[in-house]
A = this chain, B = another copy of it.
Amino acid sequence: MADLDSVDRQLVDLLQRQGQTSYSDLAKAVGLAVSSVTERVRKLSERGVLLGVHGQAAPEALGLDLLAFVFVSWSDPAVADAFLTRIGAEPAVQEAHHVTGQWNYLLKVRVTTTRMLEAFLTNVIKGVPGIERTETLIVLSSAKETTYLPVVAPAWYG
């Protein structure tokens, strides 16, 4: 964990919210000169605190109306490599997490329709030899979906 002072945290906060905020706006917000802010942001990137800036697109605008979480399991440990290579190359898979519990992996998957979800499960997941079980949860609605990371501790955690 990098140690970040309060100015650094403010910058990370602001840039997470508005990735294209100008250096002059950042400077005003944190009360430093533009050149100081430039160097801090550069160092935050260098240190790996800031990883990049990304445009956010609307899934529905791209026809991606179906979000699903897919649990996947196998028993042969050799399956892991092939599985990760396969899903790593698959843009429909946004996330793949190794999780505790009865399943090996949890995937976050975006597709257009249930028909495409079926094709994903058949052609991609079951296309990996050794995959034994899957369980799919369909997302009916997303009340919250953000990539923002808190930069300060919450009130409920002393």
Contacts and interface: CB of A to CB of B under 8 A. Distances in A.
Interface of A: 1-2, 4, 12, 15-20, 47-65, 67, 69, 84, 87-88, 90-101, 105-106, 110-112, 116, 119-120, 123-124, 127, 137-151, 153-154, 156-157
A137 B19 contact: no
Contact of A154 (B47, B90, B140, B147): B90
B20 A59 contact: no
Nearest to A146: B94
Contact of A16 (B17, B54, B87, B110): B54
A138 B99 CA distance: 6
One complex includes copies of this chain to the number of 2
A51 B57 contact: yes
Contacts of A116: 157
A85 to B, nearest CB: 10
A140 B156 CA distance: 25
B150 A92 contact: yes
B53 A20 contact: yes
Contact of A94 (B4, B48, B92, B148): B148
A100 B140 contact: yes
